[in-house]
Chain A
Amino acid sequence: MRGSLVALLLVCLGARALAAPPAAPAQADHVHDLLEEWRVTEAAAEADKLAASDPEDPATLLAVGDVRFQQGDYKGALERFDRALVGLPRGAGEEWRALRELIASTAAATRDFKEATSPDGHFIIRYGGRDEILLPYAFAALAAARREIAERDFGGMAAFDAPVRVEIYSEIADLARVSTLTLKEIETSGTIALCKWNRLMIVSPRALVRGYPWLDTLAHEFTHFVVSRASHNTVPIWLHEGLAKFEERRWREAPGGTLSPTMEHLLATALGRSGRLITFEEMHPSMAKLPSQADTALAFAEVASVIEYLQGRHGWEGIRQVILYLKSGSSDARAIAAVTNRSFSEFQSDWKSWLRGRKLRTHPGLVPASLKFARRGKGQAAERDREKDEDDTQEITEERARRFARLGGMLETHGRLAPAAFEYEKAQGLTGPGNLPVANRLARTYLALGDAERAIAAATPASELYPDSAGLSVTLGEAWRRKGQAENAIRYLETALRVNPFDPAPHCALAQLYDAKDERRAREERACGTLHGAPGK
């Protein structure tokens, strides 16, 4: 992009460009370079200087427009891009035109957004419609992430000279509009959030049938933000994603979290005879470009384990050293070698050996959870009804079990709960206790029959395999609540909120479970009331 700018302006802008002092394009290039390095404040200062000397120069306009875009002023950016590109002949400056289109569609997608600043002033969230309900949870998670990730783990490497902007989109189509990803790529890879152009972008959990771990995702993207700032955007994708994945639960967990069952299963399978690991090269330029959600999940598991290995061997200091090497212009291989004293291939080999040495095990029957995007045809129903309405029996791979589950569903629909449980039990007999749809249905039915004990027994094994299942968490939370064990209930219900905060059930249950003095109680009461009375958008 940068390289072409001078040529573009010289060739296309004719006499004006030729007559202009050569300093303007060069300085403009510098502004764009600074932006590429996530040095937005410095870029803004340079752009201001340019604007003072030659405000109408197209190169200046593009530079200032780019800065404005990254500062979140889409209207201002668009206005400058339009002025800069107006005289450009057809076919010239395609990159700039493309960026102009992106800015325009971003402006359109965020036109009706509202804005909220976190109590500590470190974050600004832009959102639309009913996503307001996410704000308190998001601010709390981001504050914790800043404390644990930016300040503690990365040791304040990243400069925060302005509040970090977060945008929440109500549909995945909006994410496609504000990014260079296509809708198909988003659906295929399961990409639900991005960190680019000096901001965090996530899709609202209401855009998915079962929600998704959106707070972890927020922390994940924030880690990218920190890494990009700290390294001046020099960190390769595998390391970037590894760090982000490794850190995504740091806001709520102590350091050194273990691999999730799904990650363990994916890695164990990939390390097995018939399996294959995704190479670091394949991960470039973006995890979102991988061919399937399963590949993406495996890639994330790999890179997270790499960071776990690196952190385990060299601590956070080692990781920070790697970043500094990269920032100074070293390649990832050199940076790793410098810190680990092993060549990059040796490092990879060591990591694989370490991984094998962990005796990872597969979980038979485990199906890596994939994101299920809400279809607009169903959008007429409230978000809270989506998961309930959803026919997830198709996800049961065992044919006979699927048939029993279908029968159970039909009996349940007809109000025949006990016979439904009978059919679900038969299905579970065939799939084992870890099958998510079957366990979920069986536990829900037991609960409806008033048998909390059985509900817990039916849901717990699957919950261990799928800790991010909002449905199971709600059922377990409710079951524990009925058994009078508030602590367990709160744990599961909070998990549910981290995944699907648009389901009123956990809010309402938590409103009863939190201590009367706990300020969260009032929050949950509000959310419970709001969601119960709210129609789907």
Chain B
Amino acid sequence: MNRSGHIGALLTQVRTRLRLRQAVLNGAVAAATAGSAAWLVLVVLGHVGVRGWAGWGTVTLALGVVLAAVLRPRWLWGSDDAVARAIDERLGASAGPGDLILSAVQLERLLPQLSGEPTVSPELVEALIRQVDERASRLDPRRLVELQLPRRRWLAVALMFSLYGVSLLTPAGRWLRVALALERAPAPSAQRASEPLVGDLEVRLTYPGYLQLPPRTITGSSGEVLAPRGTKVEMRGRLLVPAQRAELLLELDPGTSAAPATAPEPQVAVEEGRLAARFTVTGPGAYRFLLHTEADVALREADAHRITIEVDRPPRVDLRAPADDLEVTQPRSRIELAYSAEDDHGLGPLELVWRIDDHEQRLAVRQGSGLRQVAGSWEWDLAQVDLRPGVRVSYWLEVKDNDDVGGPNLGRSRTLYLHLYSAAQKHDEMLGREQVLLDHAVQLLGDRIDGEFLGPRKDAQDPAPPDGANPAAIEFERRSALHAASGRFIDELGSLLGTFDKDPLAGHELRVAAGEMHQRLARLHRAEEKEVRSLSSRIQAGRSPGETLTAAALRGLREANPRHVSELERDVLLLDDFLQRQRLEQLLSLSDEMARARDRLKKLLAQYKNSHSEALRQEIERELRRLEQKLAELESKAAQLGGHVPDEFLNREALADSDMHQRLDSLREMLARGDVDQAMSELDRLSRTLDQVAQSFEGGLRGYRGDRFSEEERALAELESQLADLEHDERELATETEKVRSRYQQATEQHMRERVEPFAKKALEQVAELQKKVDAIDPRLLTPGDGERLAGTRRAVDDLGRSLRQADLDQAREQVRAARSGLSDVQLGLTLQEQRQQWTGARTPYRKARGNAAEGEEVARRLAEELERQFPRSDELLSPADRQRLEELRQQQAGTSRRLEEARRELEQRSRGQRSPGMMQLAGEGMKQASQHMERAQNQLGQGEPRDALAAERQAADQLGQLRQQVSQSRRPREQDGRGGGQDEVVKIPGADEYRAPRDFREDLLDAMKRAAPEAYRERVKRFYEELAR
């Protein structure tokens, strides 16, 4: 087709506009028509009670009609001819004769045919087309087809749609809503029945499954329903009025949103004069039956039947133990929780919930049982809690029921609190109290010094008393007030003394010093008390103070005051010294804690480097936060100390100049970047800074102690050094004795090897006999204690046989002793039992058992003697050189012992003059014990018993070492939490089965067993060693 351009363009533009115009017009007309029709149909449907699909079908049909009307113009204006015709029509006469555009369109279509079959001159046609085309170029499609509809039409359409919408929303549109199933049809207007409509009602309630209740049938029911939500209700009854059909009219309780019953819709069936209805209870409300009688009369029950919800009460849980808040001392301990829980229908899971700060965690205590009541106890392993000293954990129990209809109900116990004991926190509180005490002491000292200026002094600055007042009486009044203030201070000090026990970090020296201070002050107070009372009596005896009290009478009080001043001066300084020392120690402890946190961080980083576990990452973050907290605490405490401790002893620069905050920040950044190697290097740098800070604090503390506690510090330093020397010498001695003992042991073994085999064979027979005797003793005849002894004896006899088979006579000797001793005890126990039973006539079994025990003991005695005879005397086995060596060692031991004794005496003398002799007294006691060990070692060496001597020497050395450590610890602050650095480590305790005492250890134990214990404890000690050796 070679259509000219302007005609084609005109056709396209006009077609579009024609389609649009027609679509709008058609749509409006169709909407009006179909909408009105649908509205009418819906109302009718609603009235007749047809709901749902029919209503929506009508709406769909109406929409379909409107859609068709809108789409129709597309088809109508599809051909060029129709459009050309429409243009020609609009142009009318103005266009000239005939259908000009249509002709051009049609002729253009015929043009190819005309060239082959020239009915008309093609040139002429082309000329026409050109002419029309030129004309078409001047035509404006907008003027040919106007889109704008008359406003009146638009308004009519809009009004119509508004009416539809409004009618749907207003009460008048109720039937529309019913037809569209948006609302239930209202009950047909019914007459209120004057008589019952349904009788012999039987109600069957099927409860929700979670209640685990059997169905319940209620015959002769009034129709009232009392059931939990979710209960299925089935009703059967007899129609008292003949009816074609029936309905159930549901009524909501005012204020409730839930319908009394839910889908499936209440179903009501009528058959042969009987009615059956079913529904599910979903909320409170009421219902009535509506009967349609055969005469098509609707009858409604006069009284509604109540639907009452039987409430599923939330479960109740009681946390019965612990009774109160708890303070635990170990972060990994377990605490027992006792609980009881109950629910009206059945219990779900029971959980423990705890919260630290805002972080809540929970743990299952027991699974849901469905039981209505449970009670029990449960151990809470605190290792699962991130417990840190001083932290406060709130915890409670939560239990749910199994309500799967309305959702589970929750029961919650009371909240209890758990603290992890923090020695540091306690100590901090204690220091606060000490500071208050010190402040009061200073004030009291000030008062007492003011007291020096009371009375007739030339430099007294008090104004003259008012006329008529007795100056002595005024002075007495003031001195009495001073006395009372002293009393209050002494009470306060006494109260503080009482709380020292709660602070394990309060040094022993401080306790002693404060105790002595209290005594001194109390003594002064008592003396002053006499004076005050005596003067008070005099005043009371007189008619007026002025008549009875003279200045001279106050002499005693005046003379006492300087003693108070002097004492308080001493006490103030002492309290201040101790307080600041403890604060410096606190700083050092904090830096120690930081060092421990640093070490943990190092370990964690090393682990994280390999695993990159998220849990470790979080642990690292926690540890970093801990470090930051400690650093902040350290800075705060150092700042607080500023005004109290001279600069010489507190190097603030070390902390102020440290770059620990920066390092911690960059460490965190490096970790965030995942650069663990860099982070570890940064931690190393932080470590060095931290060590420097700690060193600086340590130096400061040492300086402070040297300055303020110089005498004591010197004494303790000297003592530590002496103890170290003595320990060293004693260990040297033990090393030398060990050499002799080793040779002695070899000689003994050689000697025994020659004798042991023939002896063991014979001895085993005796052991068999012994075993028989022991086995024959009925343990049921024994008291629990003797029963245990018998069991121990049996074990000893078993071991004895084993030792003899292994040719270990040394062991066998100890075991036979144990067996003999056990049998002796058992025998005694049986004798006593036998005596008790003499009145009951049941003595025979006891006598028999006692006889077995006695015979067994006799066998053991013989065996012990024979065993003993197998052992040579030590001097037989020791070479002359070793005997000589033992003598030398004995002399050495005597020398060490002498030095120890001298050091102890010196210490005693020193401690007498000390203001805080606590540690020294302790050391003195320890040295005395070490001295006893040395004395025993000396005796054993003299008797040629290297084994016994060695044990005593080791004990002496250990004792000295322990003492040295104690002295060292007392010079350095103890760990902040009193538990050292292991608090965060998992403590592994090897199982008893895994553990076997090494031979050397057993030997040492046996050596120790030989030493004499006090008579009253001998047996207990022996048994203790036996158990230990096993």
Separation of A422 and B648 alpha carbons in the complex (Å): 27
A418 lies within 8 A of chain B by Cβ: yes
A414 lies within 8 A of chain B by Cβ: yes
B188 lies within 8 A of chain A by Cβ: no
CB contact under 8 A between A419 and B642, given known A375-B652, A377-B652: no
Q: Which B648-670 residues have a C-beta within 8 angstroms of A?
A: 648, 651-653, 655-657
Contact B576–A406 (Cβ < 8 Å): yes
Least CB distance from B633 to A in Å reads 16
Contact B569–A376 (Cβ < 8 Å): no
Contact of A376 (CB < 8 Å), options: B445, B453, B656: B656
The 10 closest A-B pairs by CB, nearest first: A377-B652, A416-B446, A419-B449, A419-B446, A377-B656, A391-B646, A394-B646, A422-B449, A414-B442, A410-B442
- Chain B residues with Cβ below 8 Å from A418 are 446, 449-450, 453, 461
- Chain B residues with Cβ below 8 Å from A411 are 442, 445-446, 449
| Supplied contacts A389-B642, A422-B449, 11 more A-B pairs, CB within 8 Å | A376-B653, A376-B656, A377-B656, A378-B642, A406-B573, A407-B445, A407-B569, A413-B643, A416-B449, A418-B450, A419-B446
Separation of A271 and B8 alpha carbons in the complex (Å): 131
A2 lies within 8 A of chain B by Cβ: no
Contact B646–A419 (Cβ < 8 Å): no
Separation of A95 and B453 alpha carbons in the complex (Å): 72
B443 lies within 8 A of chain A by Cβ: yes
Separation of A418 and B446 alpha carbons in the complex (Å): 8
Separation of A414 and B445 alpha carbons in the complex (Å): 11
Contact A375–B446 (Cβ < 8 Å): no
A390 lies within 8 A of chain B by Cβ: yes
Least CB distance from B990 to A in Å reads 49
A334 lies within 8 A of chain B by Cβ: no
Complex: chain A residue closest to B647, CB-CB: A375
30 of the cross-chain contacts (CB-CB < 8 Å) are A375-B647, A375-B651, A375-B652, A376-B653, A376-B657, A377-B642, A377-B653, A377-B655, A378-B642, A389-B642, A389-B643, A390-B647, A391-B646, A391-B647, A393-B646, A403-B569, A407-B569, A407-B573, A410-B572, A411-B445, A411-B449, A413-B643, A414-B442, A416-B443, A416-B449, A418-B446, A418-B450, A418-B461, A419-B445, A419-B450
Separation of A394 and B652 alpha carbons in the complex (Å): 17
Contact of B652 (CB < 8 Å), options: A378, A391, A404, A406: A378
Q: Which B565-587 residues have a C-beta within 8 angstroms of A?
A: 569, 572-573, 576
Separation of A489 and B305 alpha carbons in the complex (Å): 106
B360 lies within 8 A of chain A by Cβ: no
B718 lies within 8 A of chain A by Cβ: no
Separation of A390 and B450 alpha carbons in the complex (Å): 27
B452 lies within 8 A of chain A by Cβ: yes
Separation of A455 and B509 alpha carbons in the complex (Å): 41
Complex: chain A residue closest to B577, CB-CB: A406
- Chain B residues with Cβ below 8 Å from A378 are 642, 647, 652
Separation of A390 and B648 alpha carbons in the complex (Å): 11
Complex: chain A residue closest to B443, CB-CB: A414
B516 lies within 8 A of chain A by Cβ: no
Separation of A414 and B443 alpha carbons in the complex (Å): 7
Least CB distance from A140 to B in Å reads 34
Main secondary structure of the interface of A (DSSP, over half): helix
B439 lies within 8 A of chain A by Cβ: yes
CB contact under 8 A between A414 and B439, given known A377-B642, A407-B445, A407-B572: yes
Separation of A378 and B638 alpha carbons in the complex (Å): 11
Complex: chain A residue closest to B656, CB-CB: A377
Separation of A343 and B656 alpha carbons in the complex (Å): 56
Separation of A418 and B459 alpha carbons in the complex (Å): 12
Using a CB–CB distance below 8 Å, which chain A residues touch chain B? 375-378, 389-391, 393-394, 403-404, 406-407, 410-411, 413-414, 416, 418-419, 422-423
- Chain A residues with Cβ below 8 Å from B645 are 391
Contact A375–B653 (Cβ < 8 Å): yes
Complex: chain A residue closest to B441, CB-CB: A410
- Chain A residues with Cβ below 8 Å from B646 are 391, 393-394
Complex: chain B residue closest to A394, CB-CB: B646
Least CB distance from B696 to A in Å reads 11
Using a CB–CB distance below 8 Å, which chain B residues touch chain A? 439, 442-443, 445-446, 449-450, 452-453, 461, 569, 572-573, 576, 638, 642-643, 645-648, 651-653, 655-657, 707
Contact B652–A414 (Cβ < 8 Å): no
Least CB distance from A400 to B in Å reads 10
- Chain A residues with Cβ below 8 Å from B573 are 403, 406-407
- Chain A residues with Cβ below 8 Å from B707 are 394
Least CB distance from A524 to B in Å reads 30
Separation of A413 and B445 alpha carbons in the complex (Å): 13
Least CB distance from A208 to B in Å reads 13
Least CB distance from B569 to A in Å reads 6
Separation of A404 and B570 alpha carbons in the complex (Å): 10
Least CB distance from A522 to B in Å reads 37
Complex: chain A residue closest to B568, CB-CB: A407
- Chain B residues with Cβ below 8 Å from A375 are 647, 651-653, 656
Contact of A414 (CB < 8 Å), options: B446, B453, B651, B656: B446
Separation of A414 and B435 alpha carbons in the complex (Å): 13
Separation of A393 and B643 alpha carbons in the complex (Å): 13
- Chain A residues with Cβ below 8 Å from B656 are 375-377
Complex: chain B residue closest to A416, CB-CB: B446
- Chain B residues with Cβ below 8 Å from A414 are 439, 442-443, 446
- Chain B residues with Cβ below 8 Å from A419 are 445-446, 449-450
Complex: chain B residue closest to A404, CB-CB: B569
- Chain B residues with Cβ below 8 Å from A422 are 449, 452
- Chain A residues with Cβ below 8 Å from B445 are 407, 411, 419
Least CB distance from A418 to B in Å reads 7
Separation of A413 and B652 alpha carbons in the complex (Å): 22
Separation of A423 and B442 alpha carbons in the complex (Å): 12
Complex: chain B residue closest to A403, CB-CB: B573
Separation of A307 and B525 alpha carbons in the complex (Å): 66
Least CB distance from A390 to B in Å reads 7
Separation of A378 and B656 alpha carbons in the complex (Å): 9
Least CB distance from A348 to B in Å reads 39
Separation of A390 and B446 alpha carbons in the complex (Å): 22
- Chain B residues with Cβ below 8 Å from A376 are 652-653, 656-657
Least CB distance from B98 to A in Å reads 101
Contact of A394 (CB < 8 Å), options: B453, B648, B651, B655: B648
Separation of A416 and B576 alpha carbons in the complex (Å): 17
Separation of A377 and B439 alpha carbons in the complex (Å): 26
- Chain A residues with Cβ below 8 Å from B450 are 418-419
Separation of A423 and B452 alpha carbons in the complex (Å): 12
Complex: chain B residue closest to A426, CB-CB: B569
Separation of A393 and B646 alpha carbons in the complex (Å): 8
- Chain B residues with Cβ below 8 Å from A413 are 442, 643
Separation of A389 and B653 alpha carbons in the complex (Å): 16
Separation of A423 and B450 alpha carbons in the complex (Å): 12
Contact A416–B442 (Cβ < 8 Å): yes
- Chain A residues with Cβ below 8 Å from B642 are 377-378, 389
Complex: chain A residue closest to B448, CB-CB: A419
Separation of A414 and B449 alpha carbons in the complex (Å): 14
- Chain A residues with Cβ below 8 Å from B653 are 375-377
Separation of A410 and B443 alpha carbons in the complex (Å): 10
Complex: chain B residue closest to A381, CB-CB: B642
Least CB distance from B798 to A in Å reads 71
Least CB distance from B459 to A in Å reads 11
- Chain A residues with Cβ below 8 Å from B576 are 406, 410
- Chain B residues with Cβ below 8 Å from A391 are 645-647
Separation of A404 and B573 alpha carbons in the complex (Å): 9
Least CB distance from B708 to A in Å reads 10
Most buried by A among B453, B576, B642: B642
- Chain A residues with Cβ below 8 Å from B452 are 422
Separation of A413 and B656 alpha carbons in the complex (Å): 26
Separation of A376 and B452 alpha carbons in the complex (Å): 43
Separation of A403 and B570 alpha carbons in the complex (Å): 9
Separation of A218 and B576 alpha carbons in the complex (Å): 43
Separation of A13 and B115 alpha carbons in the complex (Å): 104
Separation of A406 and B573 alpha carbons in the complex (Å): 8
